[in-house]
Amino acid sequence: MIKAVIFDLDGVIVSTDEFHYLGWQKLADEEGIFFNRTINERLRGVSRLESLEIILEKAAKSYSPEEKKALAEKKNGYYRELLKTLSPSDILPGAIELVNALKNAGIKVAIGSSSKNTPFILRQIGLADTFDAVSDGNQIKKSKPDPEVFLLAASKMQISPGHCLVVEDADAGVEAALNAGMKCLAVGSAYNHPQAHLKANSLSEVSVEILCNL
Ligand code: BG6
Ligand code: MG
């Protein structure tokens, strides 16, 4: 029985994908590194520094740890500038409705995101006080597919992992949910993940009944 639902943030609750892409593209162009939307897909759910490592696979030279840190901060600066324009209108279809329906049914709701910008994003979209728990990139050591971010969310809510369901748009996130011993609803880019328990094109298609009968 599902007692809590843990939502990934980027690509599940809010559409920040394009901003991430634009930030990385600008950085890659400045460094003369080949980058495109196909490579960008591999960055879904992956931490900032691990994302940079994927981008640097195409670099002609090697970078020191200090240079990598500076590059990641530079990208984050570009991304944060774009995030300033984020508003409640960027919340994805059906997300608020599903969150509210779950809360009305007595099911706890949390955020489980790799992003260190989670608090800022939640404020920008007006959802800073909506969730029972927020577990994010600032609080974890290992990023998805490690289950740490979801296990932390479950422990903050005092719900055992077996009673949690994760909503994810990244393959790495689906794997993190399974590694945590949780059920998983795959949306968006993760739609075709073979091990997800349920899939949907949009949260508008998902009801509390469907999730609770898993
Ligand atoms: C995840 C995104 O939610 O957060 C990734 O899917 C991103 O693409 C990661 O790299 C880390 O984000 P941030 O905001 O800490 O740079
Ligand atoms: Mg995501």
Percentage of the chain with pLDDT > 70? 100
Which atom of ligand 1 approaches the CA of 137 most closely?
A: 15
pLDDT band at 65 (very low <50, low <70, confident <90, very high): very high
Q: Is 29 noted as a catalytic residue in this protein?
A: no
Question: Can you say how many angstroms the Cα of residue 79 is from the centroid of all Cα atoms in its chain?
Answer: 15
- Say if ligand 1 is within 6 A of residue 43 CB: yes
* Residue ranges of domains in the chain, CATH in brackets: 4-14+90-212 (3.40.50.1000), 17-83 (1.10.150.240)
Is residue 212's pLDDT more than 90?
A: no
pTM over 0.85: yes
Please list the residues that pair with 60 across neighbouring strands: none
Average pLDDT for 137-149: 96
Q: Which residues of 54-83 are buried (b: 16+ CB within 10 A; e: fewer)?
A: ebbeeeeeeeeeeeeeebbebbbebbeeeb
Q: Is 90 noted as a catalytic residue in this protein?
A: no
Residues 133, 110: Cα–Cα separation, whole Å: 5
Contacts of residue 188, Cβ cutoff 8 Å, sequence gap at least 6: 11, 12, 169
Query: What was the pLDDT predicted at 214?
Result: 81
How much distance in Å is there from the Cα of 170 to the middle of ligand 1? Answer: 11
Ligand nearest to the CA of 43: 1
Query: What was the pLDDT predicted at 11?
Result: 95
- Say if ligand 1 is within 6 A of residue 143 CB: no
What sign for the dihedral angle of Cα 214, 102, 83, 92? positive
Query: What was the pLDDT predicted at 166?
Result: 98
How much distance in Å is there from the Cα of 51 to the middle of ligand 1? Answer: 8
How much distance in Å is there from the Cα of 10 to the middle of ligand 1? Answer: 7
* pLDDT tens for each residue of 37-62: 999 999 998 999 999 999 999 999 99
For ligand 1, atom 11: residue with the closest CA: 115
Is residue 125's pLDDT more than 90?
A: yes
For ligand 1, atom 2: residue with the closest CA: 45
- Backbone φ and ψ for 128, nearest 5 degrees, come out as -60, -30
Residues 116, 137: Cα–Cα separation, whole Å: 4
Contacts made by residues 129-138, CB under 8 angstroms, sequence distance 24+: 130/99, 131/7, 131/99, 132/4, 132/108, 132/156, 132/157, 133/108, 133/157, 134/110, 135/6, 135/110, 135/111, 136/9, 136/111, 136/112, 137/47, 137/48, 137/113
How much distance in Å is there from the Cα of 147 to the middle of ligand 2? Answer: 14
Eight-state DSSP code of residue 10: B
